[in-house]
């Protein structure tokens, strides 16, 4: 239930950021890194529970998965890595632990309903 705790914080942040409007919140977008520890499928499954009884009850959750990447200081290349990353650059083999993407867990946007 780690994801439920994360989403509870997201809901609180979005409610605070949109407190000055009465417009319904239609969509909340998250950026979630593959090395963040959050599981996108579990986030989607927990969304209805986290939003129950809030202004976000009817809001849809969209998740952008951010692939983990390292920047190798030896060869200067940026390389995508997976969960089996062995702390060496996939391009040159030199030891490298400079993770530049993949830890993200952030609210990217919240879309409000607009009157037509």
Domains annotated on the chain, with CATH: 2-112 (3.30.2320.80)
Give the containing element (helix H, strand E) for 12: helix 2-17
* Per-residue pLDDT, 10: 97
pLDDT of 116 reads: 54
Nearest to 4 by CA among 48, 36, 60, 55: 48
- For 77-116, how does the pLDDT look when each residue is reduced to its tens digit (9 = 90+)? 999 998 888 888 888 989 887 899 999 999 999 999 986 5
pLDDT digits (tens, 9 = 90+) for 51-85: 999 999 999 999 999 999 999 999 999 999 988 88
């Amino acid at each position: 239930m780690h994801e439920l705790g994360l989403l509870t914080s997201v809901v609180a942040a979005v409610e605070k950021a949109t407190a000055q409007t009465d417009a319904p919140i239609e969509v909340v977008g998250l950026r979630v890194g593959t090395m963040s520890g959050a599981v996108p499928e579990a986030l989607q499954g927990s969304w209805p529970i986290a939003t129950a009884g809030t202004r976000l009850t009817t809001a849809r959750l969209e998740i952008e998965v951010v692939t983990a990447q390292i920047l190798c200081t030896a060869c200067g290349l940026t390389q995508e890595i997976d969960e089996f990353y062995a702390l060496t650059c996939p391009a040159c083999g030199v030891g490298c632990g400079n993770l530049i993407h993949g830890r993200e867990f952030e609210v990217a946007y919240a879309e409000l309903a607009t009157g037509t």
